[in-house]
Amino acid sequence: MDSDPDEELLVRVARGDPAAVRALTARKLPRLLALAGRMLGEVSEAEDVAQEAMIRAWRQAPAWTPGVARFDTWLHRVTLNLCYDRLRRRREIPTETPPEQVDQGPAPDRGLEAADVGRRVAKAMATLPDRQREAVALCHYQDLTNIEAAAIMGVSVEALESLLSRGRRALRLALSDLMAP
């Protein structure tokens, strides 16, 4: 395993260094929130998950053993486990109204059209089976390598590729009207 780029910060976090806490938050929180958002599609749930994952990171820092796994891999796995807890709860307690879908709101640099497309993508992602959505979230959106994503998901790279193919094929079908023939 290559050296862990988060290791030095973790050591400082474990010592209670506030600057390291802020640096690790800036590095990880946006990525965890993005991942939880892709998996859950709803902002307040995604925020709860990202916050809980970071709290677990703070608890883990003093006990972190370098060289066993990358901290980022561990943190992604924690976040995904928390997402699956939420998804399971949703299935156990079906609600009358589906969870509020992603509402990006058109940012100054994105037109209304991009926001509409974004909403369509969110909806299409929400219809994917969980493991396919996870594979697309990790590889496409989190920009992880196939080896990293497979490690996080606990599958072989071949199985990951199969999940990705099926996920992307379903997305292509659902979003085909947004693409040139």
Partner 1 sequence: MTQERFLELADAHGGTVARWPAAEREAAATLMAAAPDFAQRVLAGADQLDGVLDAWAPFSVSHALNRAVIDGAPTIHPRRSLRTWLLGAGVGAGLAGASAAGLAFGVALSGNLASTTDAPEAVSAAMTGYDDLFETSEGA
Smallest distance, partner 1 to C-beta of residue 141, A? 7
Cβ–Cβ under 8 Å, residues 177 and 120:
no
Residue 58 as a binder of partner 1 (CB under 8 A): the answer is yes
Total residues interacting with partner 1, rule: CB under 8 A: 58
Q: Give every CB contact of residue 84 below 8 A, 6+ residues apart in sequence.
A: 130
Distance CA 103, CA 105 (A): 6
DSSP 2: P
Best CA proximity match to 55, nearest among 20, 90, 25: 25
Q: Where do we find the tokens 């928390």?
A: 82
50 versus 151: smaller Cβ distance to partner 1: 50
- Using left for φ > 0, alpha for ψ between -120 and 50, and beta otherwise, residue 140 falls in alpha
Considering the complex, what minimum distance in angstroms separates the CB of residue 67 from partner 1?
22
Determine, following the binding rule CB under 8 A, whether residue 68 of this chain makes contact with partner 1.
no
Give, as ranges, the residues between 101 and 140 that touch partner 1 (CB under 8 A).
102, 104, 107, 110, 114, 117-119, 121-122, 125, 136, 139-140
Residues forming the site for partner 1 (CB under 8 A): 13, 15-23, 25-26, 29-30, 33-34, 37-38, 43, 46-47, 50-51, 54-55, 58, 102, 104, 107, 110, 114, 117-119, 121-122, 125, 136, 139-141, 143, 145-147, 157, 161-162, 164-165, 168-169, 171-172, 175, 178-180
